[in-house]
Homo-oligomer: A and B are copies of this chain.
Amino acid sequence: MVTYCRSVLDDDPVFKALADPVRRLLLDLLFVQDGRSLGELDAAVNEHTEMTRFGVSKHLRQLENAGLVLTRKRGRTKHHYLNPVPIQQIHQRWIGKYTERAGIASVLLGMKEQLEQSPDEPKRPGHEPKDES
Q: Which residues of A contact B (CB under 8 A)?
A: 5, 7, 12, 15-16, 18-19, 21, 24, 27, 31, 34-35, 67, 70-74, 79, 81-85, 87-88, 91, 94-95, 97-99, 101-103, 105-106, 111-113, 115-116, 119-124, 127, 129
Pairs of residues from A and B, 4 with the lowest C-beta to C-beta distance, nearest first:
A88-B102, A19-B19, A84-B102, A84-B98
A84 touches B70 (CB 8 A): no
B124 touches A99 (CB 8 A): no
The docked-state distance in angstroms from the alpha carbon of A123 to that of B72 is: 9
The docked-state distance in angstroms from the alpha carbon of A117 to that of B113 is: 47
Residue among A67, A72, A106 facing the most chain B CB atoms (10 A cut-off): A72
